[in-house]
Chains A and B, each alone.
Chain A
């Protein structure tokens, strides 16, 4: 009897000793990423940026879910994360209004939430990280005025989806910057971020106007589509093509190939999100909003990694 009791006591002690090292070594943090649509290459890059940064920290375990551009799907996925009691939620919502409630539920459950790129209605999240599309559009305008102003340049603007905030912001920022200059927008069309649509619109512009100097595409695929249209009629040399996004395998490659004159980066913020998450885990106070800086790439500086925009 006594020996069995002794044996049992030793077993219990040994088990608790075995459990101790895990406690001492530090816990694993499970971070859930809710992406609205991996069908967009820019968002594939966002997930890749998150993964690259998270890989540097072995105590982080990443879980990725993709809502394939379906709002209800994304709501359900956030609710799944809350039930799974993850340690932190990173979300890039499809739309501001429908995702506000699931995010509030996560906050109420004690899960800190970092919102990336697209905003949520209300302030019920831990931190927002994103770039400022108005500022980027303005940077494009300023750069064009600085390098091509004074000659009455004719500009074609291939816009992104004008019912989306990035499309509206990249348009308004650009207009703001070229106000008062002699840059003249002679043709603008909504290509909805799509390259084939951009190509069609550029073909119309080329048919209508004999002289086009500058093409401003709201994203790199639009600028590329416009380039293809100009190339098909042999008018691409001497035309300036500018885009936004600067994905390393897309816009930056186009600059290297001489297709785009310049591309302005729209940073995904993926790496920054992980850095902020680690601060939150350490208990530090984080700012409510972080506006990411941007870079621009031209043939001169592309190999050096572009230059930062003030």
Chain B
């Protein structure tokens, strides 16, 4: 599952029989690989949870079920973000495009009474359009990904506020002078529900589906290999005949579609379309990808690493929450953990 280049051990762990040293070598190689370090980070955060278990709350199954549900929207964003970062780029617009999708979904289903499947398809198209705008600016107009997606981030946020008049879209609809309260569209309840006896949230299932799709593209599809070579050395890739522009363009379009899916899930969980939702989500998504071990420089990484990063940040947020840590403390502790995680990953590169 981990499709990345392993560095050979720099030191020989001599001594002992040949069989014994190869076992030791394997273990050390596993621990010092990216996946090994990411697992270590996750285990350390889980250890924090065991120690600061808030009167045993950490061991209850409800806590773990909730952690997965709460991390799902960020996780969906991280799926698209991983592909983009592997190409050596970045997508700062994910939070704002999530908001556009969220308000579009609410407007279409609540105000315009569209059928749910048509609303979902339209929102996915909207996400794809915004993503492909980023992609076009980056692959064709050769803009820096940071600048292009920063511009999209601002534009999308403004667009979300424009189509909603700056207000939250909910079932309380103004018709002329009256305000009527509509029924919540059933699709909202479906997306926000749980299956398997209340143990698995539908949004978690949606996240897992997105994860599997992203993994298939990255690990088993030609496009995935193209993304790695573009991120590793763009010139060499171009000279080898890799369709660099199309590969990058599709990565950002895919990210846009992931934002749309996340936006629909967010609207269902909030039972409203909020033009200000998703603010700052891009930083959480980037943190999840980076502390998993995918390099911001590009060319290296995997969905498995991102999953570890998602769980690490998700559990960290949960542990801070059940221990009722005040807001200021949460922000500082999260910052410190991110720095520590990235430092442990950094030792791997020359």
| A residues in contact (CB < 8 Å) with B | 37-39, 41, 44, 66, 68-69, 162, 187-190, 192, 195-196, 199-201, 203-204, 206-209, 232-233, 248-250, 253
Contacts and interface: CB of A to CB of B under 8 A. Distances in A.
B167 interface: yes
Given A203-B66, A207-B62, A207-B63, A189 B321 contact: yes
B229 to A, nearest CB: 40
Contacts of B62: 203, 206-207, 233
B66 A207 contact: yes
Contacts of A68: 161, 166
Given A189-B324, A190-B326, A207-B62, A38 B167 contact: yes
Contacts of B112: none
A39 B275 contact: yes
Given A38-B167, A195-B270, A232-B194, A208 B55 contact: yes
B172 A249 contact: yes
B57 interface: yes
Nearest to B180: A249
A248 B170 CA distance: 14
Interface string B49-89: 00000111100101100100010000000000000000000
B179 A249 contact: yes
A232 B57 contact: no
Interface of B: 54-57, 60, 62-63, 66, 70, 161, 165-168, 170, 172, 179, 181, 194, 198, 266, 269-270, 274-276, 318, 321-322, 324, 326-327
A195 B270 CA distance: 7
| Chain A interface, >50% SS class | mixed
A256 to B, nearest CB: 10
Contacts of B322: 204, 207-208
Contacts of A192: 327
B167 A44 contact: yes
Contacts of B166: 37-39, 66, 68
Nearest to B161: A68
Contacts of A207: 54, 57, 60, 62-63, 66, 322
A37 B172 CA distance: 19
Contacts of A196: 266, 269-270
Given A207-B63, A208-B54, A232-B198, A201 B276 contact: no
14 contacts: A38-B166, A44-B167, A68-B161, A68-B166, A69-B276, A189-B324, A200-B66, A200-B70, A207-B57, A208-B57, A208-B322, A232-B194, A233-B62, A250-B172
B296 to A, nearest CB: 29
A232 B66 CA distance: 10
A66 B56 CA distance: 48
Given A187-B324, A250-B172, 13 more contacts: A39-B166, A39-B167, A41-B168, A68-B166, A162-B326, A195-B270, A196-B266, A203-B321, A204-B54, A207-B57, A207-B60, A207-B63, A208-B57
Contacts of A66: 166
A288 B308 CA distance: 59
10 cross-chain pairs, A with B, having the tightest CB-CB distances, nearest first? A208-B57, A249-B172, A204-B321, A204-B322, A207-B57, A207-B63, A203-B66, A190-B327, A38-B166, A208-B54
Contacts of B194: 232
A33 B123 CA distance: 35
B324 A188 contact: yes
Contacts of A187: 324
A195 B271 CA distance: 10
B257 to A, nearest CB: 23
Nearest to A55: B177
Contacts of B275: 39
Contacts of A203: 62, 66, 70, 321
B324 A39 contact: no
A209 B323 CA distance: 12
A196 B168 CA distance: 14
Nearest to A203: B66
Nearest to B165: A38
A185 to B, nearest CB: 11
Contacts of B63: 204, 207
- Most A C-beta atoms less than 10 A away, residue of B66, B70, B270: B66
A199 B46 CA distance: 23
A188 B269 CA distance: 22
